[in-house]
């Protein structure tokens, strides 16, 4: 390592010292004898000032010829300057030496607005831009918070297979693949396997990519997304909601603490996020329908009224979720969805078989569902009936039925979608920016 090599994020500790930074040129401003280089290194961005009289002529010439995204190594003295732009900002570098590693060809992404399709086609480059950098740093912190909370609360991480013989979340969104002449499916959820591992480990989670052949083009759907799925033995719906609210508020509060600079760069107003602390309000599906009816009565907006139309038994669409969540100042649990609107494995409400012991967590500010979970059916006969009702092939589920034959217990779990959570925390419009390489209905490139 060259002497004095530092990362931009630690620059404040090196005021007055000579340092070296290895990175890429984000932009350059040519002021004749002064060249202002904005240099990024993955940990931050700093302005490096090349003054003609301070460097050998060949160094100045090299600086002056630098193109956007050229890779370079810069040495110089760190100066404090309140006005200096950058991340963290407040410091700049008076350049003494500079080495061009590669002079970049003309960079396709200019420092101006581009359309989403163009940017998505160039996702491999787009991730370098400050906004994408900030979002993906938040994502990494969210993932770390997820793991830390679960690991610290007795959950054992046991990952579940990606190639599976059966559907978990309905047969309409399965990606089928050829498994040596037999069909196999990309996993929609690791839940069914979690239900096996809890009988060996008590509390478990799986965390990985999941796949849904979603034909819908919305700002909340990817065909490949990351989901963390905790599952808990001897746990009912109330206990599940307690776990979820602790978990989600930890993720949000830790991200606020550790990624303040990134959230600021994104222009995120963090006040609504600061309120994300337990307890979260809980309303039943029936109460949610009443609330929606009331909202429809009150609104003057004809189009909204039509969008919010719903009958008992229907699942919510995103307009319902948005309007419901708007009535609360923190995420809200909606529990007790109609059995017909949910997956096959959900425990019925005692005395009301048409209602399931299910719960979704809706994020405020229009973000809607970020977790989906339930208590699971623990009775063998009932589960067998449900497989028939849902037209699911019994052979593929024989092992799952075994779990109800040998030491079946009440148990519950949920799945939290990483991309939706990151979109909410960052306050951004579309989930496509929350994953390094998004997969959507019409996109599997790059």
Contacting residues toward ligand 4AD, per CB under 6 A: 168-169, 189, 191, 212, 214, 221-222, 225, 227, 229, 369-373, 413-415, 417, 419-420, 431
Cα–Cα distance measured from residue 339 to residue 316, given in angstroms and rounded to the nearest whole number: 13
H/E run at residue 240:
helix 237-258
Token pair of 3, please?
Answer: 């002497």
Closest contact distance (angstroms) between CB of 57 and ligand 4AD is 55
Cα–Cα distance measured from residue 439 to residue 225, given in angstroms and rounded to the nearest whole number: 8
Judged by beta carbon distances under 5 to 8 A according to partner kind, the member of ligand 4AD, Mg ion, none in contact with residue 229 is ligand 4AD
Nearer to ligand 4AD, 48 or 359 (CB): 359
Which residues on neighbouring strands pair with residue 262, listed in sequence order? Answer: none
Q: Which of residues 354-373 bind Mg ion (CB under 5 A)?
A: 372
Closest contact distance (angstroms) between CB of 288 and ligand 4AD is 16
Nearer to ligand 4AD, 69 or 375 (CB): 375
Cα–Cα distance measured from residue 99 to residue 53, given in angstroms and rounded to the nearest whole number: 17
Cα–Cα distance measured from residue 149 to residue 246, given in angstroms and rounded to the nearest whole number: 9
Nearer to Mg ion, 93 or 237 (CB): 237
Q: CA neighbours within 13 Å on the CB side: how many for 418? A: 29
Contacts of 30 (CB under 8 A, 6+ apart): 64
Closest contact distance (angstroms) between CB of 265 and ligand 4AD is 24
Nearer to Mg ion, 89 or 415 (CB): 415
Distances (CA, A) of 413 to 225, 344, 345, 416: 18, 14, 11, 10
**Is the Cβ–Cβ distance between 378 and 404 less than 8 Å?**
yes
4: left (phi over 0), alpha (psi -120 to 50) or beta: left
Token pair of 329, please?
Answer: 């100042």
Judged by beta carbon distances under 5 to 8 A according to partner kind, the member of ligand 4AD, Mg ion, none in contact with residue 438 is none
Nearer to ligand 4AD, 376 or 404 (CB): 376
Closest contact distance (angstroms) between CB of 158 and ligand 4AD is 13
Nearer to Mg ion, 86 or 372 (CB): 372
Closest contact distance (angstroms) between CB of 131 and ligand 4AD is 20
Judged by beta carbon distances under 5 to 8 A according to partner kind, the member of Mg ion, ligand 4AD, none in contact with residue 373 is ligand 4AD
Under the rule (CB under 5 A), what is the footprint of Mg ion? 372
């Amino acid at each position: 390592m060259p002497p004095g090599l530092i990362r931009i994020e630690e620059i404040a500790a090196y005021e007055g010292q000579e340092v070296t930074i290895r990175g890429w040129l984000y932009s350059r401003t040519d002021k004749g004898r002064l060249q202002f280089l904005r240099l990024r290194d993955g940990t931050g961005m700093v302005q490096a000032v090349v003054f003609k009289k301070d460097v050998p002529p060949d160094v100045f010439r090299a600086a002056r010829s630098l193109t956007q995204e050229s890779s370079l190594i810069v040495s110089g003295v760190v100066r404090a300057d309140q006005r200096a732009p950058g991340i963290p900002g407040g410091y700049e570098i008076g350049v003494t030496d500079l080495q061009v590693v590669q002079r970049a060809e003309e960079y396709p992404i200019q420092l101006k607005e581009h359309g989403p399709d163009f940017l998505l086609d160039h996702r491999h480059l787009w991730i370098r831009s400050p906004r994408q950098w900030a979002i993906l740093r938040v994502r990494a912190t969210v993932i770390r918070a997820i793991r830390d909370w679960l690991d610290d609360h007795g959950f054992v991480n046991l990952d579940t297979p990606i190639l599976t013989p059966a559907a978990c979340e309905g047969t309409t969104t399965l990606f089928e693949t050829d498994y040596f002449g037999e069909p196999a499916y990309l996993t929609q959820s690791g839940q069914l396997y979690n239900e096996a591992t809890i009988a060996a480990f008590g509390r478990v989670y799986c965390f990985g990519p999941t796949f849904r052949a979603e034909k819908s083009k919305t700002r909340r759907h990817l065909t490949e997304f990351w989901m963390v799925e905790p599952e808990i033995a001897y746990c009912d719906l109330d206990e599940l909601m307690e776990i979820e609210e602790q978990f989600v508020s930890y993720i949000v509060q830790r991200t606020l603490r550790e990624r303040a600079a990134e959230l600021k760069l994104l222009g995120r107003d963090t006040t609504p996020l600061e309120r994300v602390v337990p307890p979260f309000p809980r309303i039943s599906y029936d109460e949610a329908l009443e609330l929606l009816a009331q909202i429809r009565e009150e609104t003057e907006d004809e189009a909204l009224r039509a969008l919010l139309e719903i009958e008992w038994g229907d699942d919510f669409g995103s307009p319902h979720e948005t309007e419901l969540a708007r009535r609360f100042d923190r995420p809200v649990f909606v529990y007790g969805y109609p059995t017909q609107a949910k997956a096959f494995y959900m425990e019925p409400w005692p005395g009301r078989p048409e209602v399931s012991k299910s719960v979704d967590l809706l994020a405020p500010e229009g973000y809607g569902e970020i977790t989906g979970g339930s208590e699971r059916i623990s009775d063998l006969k009932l589960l067998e009936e449900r497989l028939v009702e849902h037209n699911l092939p019994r052979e593929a589920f024989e092992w799952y039925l075994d779990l109800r034959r040998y030491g079946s217990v009440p148990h519950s779990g949920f799945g939290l979608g990483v991309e939706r959570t990151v979109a909410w925390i960052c306050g951004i419009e579309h989930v496509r920016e929350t994953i390094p390489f998004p997969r959507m209905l019409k996109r599997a490139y790059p």
